[in-house]
Amino acid sequence: MRPLFLAIDQIKANAGAIGEESAVQDMGLKEDFEEHAEKAKTLPENTTNENKLILYGLYKQATVGSVNTSRPGLFSPKERAKWDAWKAVEGKSQEEAMNDYITKVKQLHEEAATAAA
């Protein structure tokens, strides 16, 4: 009977280690996301509004989660476009949104570097 308890303890220990590994990966992702959020601030001025809105929507989804406000009215076109961009990525997990955000920032920086060369 003792080996069964040992096996259960081992399973619990492994589950804890897996949970810790996942937490470490999440911390790495958050740090990477925050780093790329800073890099996004250095994108060239000629970055299109479409790309800025994509980044905005992914950032909001990653940091807040799904849209939690009502859609702005017709007299607030800028706020409405931002809300629409956020709504467009609704349903993505926060981790998926972080990964997509990082990928998009990298893509935009690569495009800017290629255009400058």
pLDDT band at residue 10, thresholds of 50, 70 and 90? low
Length in residues, the chain: 117
In Å, how far from its chain's centre is CA 24?
Answer: 16
* Average of per-residue pLDDT across 69-93: 96
Q: What are phi and psi of 28, to 5 degrees?
A: -60, -40
Among candidate residues 64, 56, 68, 48, the one with its CA nearest the CA of residue 101: 56
pLDDT band at residue 61, thresholds of 50, 70 and 90? very high
What is residue 72's predicted lDDT score, i.e. its pLDDT?
Answer: 95
CATH classification (class only), 29-116: mainly alpha
Q: What is the DSSP string of 58-103?
A: HHHHHHT-S--SPPP-TT-HHHHHHHHHHHHTTTS-HHHHHHHHHH
Domain regions of the chain by residue span: 29-116
Instruction: For residue 83, give every residue at least 6 positions away whose Cβ sits within 8 Å of its Cβ, in sequence order, or none.
Output: 67, 69, 71, 72
What is residue 27's predicted lDDT score, i.e. its pLDDT?
Answer: 72
> What CA–CA distance (Å, rounded) separates 34 from 57?
15
